[in-house]
Structure 1
Amino acid sequence: MQALNAVYINEIFKMSKKKKVTASLIFSFFSVIVTAIAVYALNNFAGISITGSSEFSIMVLAVLSYTFFPLFTAFICIDMFAGEFADHTIKFTLTGPASRFKVFLGKILAIAVFIIANLVLVMFLSLVASMFINRGMPNFFKILIAYIMEFFPILIFALAVVLISNITKGTTSAFMLSVFVFLVFNGVGLAFPYLKSLLFTAAFDWYRLALGSYINFGKILRVFLILLGYGIMLFTAGYYLFENKDI
């Protein structure tokens, strides 16, 4: 556990120094602010009511879950795997006392922390903004559940990008292939609706299952098990490639 903890702390430190992390937080911040200003202006000056206090946070989540969240998650995953193999800095990590499995797991845990931090930032900002928009208290519990549920599909996407990063030989090819896979999965879901429920990209808005007056726990469990299956397969495949990849 000490070796894993050391790797995890090291990965968190390295990630905190990346400009893409700072850029992600800045873009998330301004996305919420700009959206809040637009909604406030429409609500109070144009007389167009777009959202309530709780719905604003959900609207922001709906927009960012298909844009900035996967985009910057992909950047971080690619930097931590394909990027380090490309510039050979991975040697310093792999020549340490920690096994490759602990190094791989430490990187995944660091990526999970990044996803959580991004979600928490957006949730907090959207909650504060919603109080100014509607001058009322939003349904914090409902919003919290939605953001917690969003963590799982974003993490699965991150594992998919990690797998791709261990297949490709460069950061550019890893990014292009990740974007291609993301678009293909979404395209297949639109073209073949009967297959949509089997694709992890369709779960980017699965939090909506918990927001209605009737909560279908059976369907929520089904989606969770599908995500869990994706997670196990992608983690195993990603680690296998990472373990056998030459430095």
Structure 2
Amino acid sequence: MGGFKAALINEVEKLYKKKKALVAVIISLAFIVIGQFGVIGVRSSFGLRGVGSMEFPILILSLLVKTILPLFTALITIDSFSAEFSQNTMKIALTRPVTRLKFFAAKLTAILIFILANLLFSMIFSIIGGLLLDSNSFTLQGFFRILICYLVTLLPMMVFAMIIVFLINIIKSGVGVFFVSILLFIVFKGLEIIFSRYSGIFFTSMMSWYNLWIISTFPFWKIVRQFMMMCSYSIILFTISYYLFDKKEF
């Protein structure tokens, strides 16, 4: 456990020092500010209420999971693995007293911490933005609904990160992995629309599963089914990716 903890601290520190993490924070903040101006513009131009303080963070989340969150998850994941492959620094990291499994798990955990931090950062500032728009509609129940939505989004993003890790262990080029991952995202989005009846099996549809947690009639079994499917994807992808990683010669 000590080896895993040391490896995790090292990986988190490396991610923290990368400029991509800072850019992700800045762009997330820009999305919130643009969203505020958009709501204010609709309200002033058309006299519409727009969204309240409790709806605004959900609106921001729906934009994030379809745009910059998958993008920066792909970039950070690729940089965490592929950059070390190409710079031949993976061999140095593996000389430490830590097993490949712990090292691999530490990298994935650091990526999940980055995603969670980005989600929480966006949640806090979107709530503040919502309060600036309409502080009267704020409720404690609404806050917990927002918190749940942002937290449960971590699981589908974990599946997406695992897909990227799998591609990294097959394709050597980081640029190649990036374009393949973007292509896969677009293709699965298209398949989700074409085969709408079976859209639940595509990982892109799972990124919106937070909507299931806030509808009036709580769909318990549908949530459990989606949860089990995402766990299955994660276990399968983790096993295959680690097998490929373990067989690599550094």
The TM-score bracket by the shorter chain reads: over 0.9
Partner residue, 1:68: 68
1:109-128 paired onto structure 2 within 5 Å: 109-128=109-128
Structure 2 residue ranges without an equivalent (≥5): none
Of 203, 212, 215, 2:215 maps to 212
* Shift in Å, 1:13: 0.7
Structure 1 SS opposite 2:225: helix
Letter in 2 for 1:68: I
C-alpha displacement of 1:48: 2.4
Q: In structure 2, how many angstroms separate the alpha carbons of the residues matched to 1:140 and 1:237? A: 39
Answer yes or no: is the 8 Å Cα contact 1:188–1:195 preserved in 2: no
Residue number in structure 2 paired with 1:23: 23
1:100 matched to which residue of 2?
100
SS at 2:249 equivalent? coil
Write the deviation string for residues 167-219 of structure 1: whole angstroms up to 9, x where unpaired.
Answer: 11111011011111111211111111122111121111111111121111111
Q: What is the SS of the residue equivalent to 1:53?
A: coil
Contact in 2 for aligned 1:164/1:174 (Cα 8 Å): yes
Partner AA of 2:234 in structure 1 = G
CA distance in structure 1 between the partners assigned to 2:65 and 2:149 by the alignment: 11
Map 1:1-247 onto structure 2 (within 5 A).
Answer: 1-136=1-136, 137-138=138-139, 139-247=142-250
Question: What's the TM-score once normalised by structure 2's chain length?
Answer: 0.96
Q: CA deviation at 1:237?
A: 1.0
TM-score, length-scaled by structure 1:
0.97
State the secondary structure of the residue aligned to 1:169: coil
1:18 is displaced (CA, Å) by 0.8
Q: Which runs of 5+ in 1 are unaligned?
A: none
CA offsets per residue over residues 14-34 of structure 1, 9 Å max, x none?
A: 111111111111111111111
Q: CA deviation at 1:11?
A: 0.2
Instruction: After superposition, give the CA deviation of every residue in 1:92-136 in whole Å (9 maximum; x if it has no partner).
Output: 111111111011000011001000000001000010010111122
RMSD between superposed Cα atoms in Å: 1.1
Count of paired positions: 247
Corresponding residue SS for 2:208: helix
Identical-pair percentage? 37
The letter for the 2-side match of 1:35 is G
Tell me the distance in 1 between the aligned counterparts of 2:43 and 2:71. Answer: 30
Deviation digits for residues 52-87 of structure 1 (CA, Å, limit 9, x no counterpart) = 221111010001101110000000000011111011
CA drift of 1:246 comes to: 1.9
Once the two structures are TM-superposed, the CA of residue 49 in structure 1 deviates from its matched residue by: 2.6
- For 1:101 and 1:216, the matched residues in 2 are separated by 37
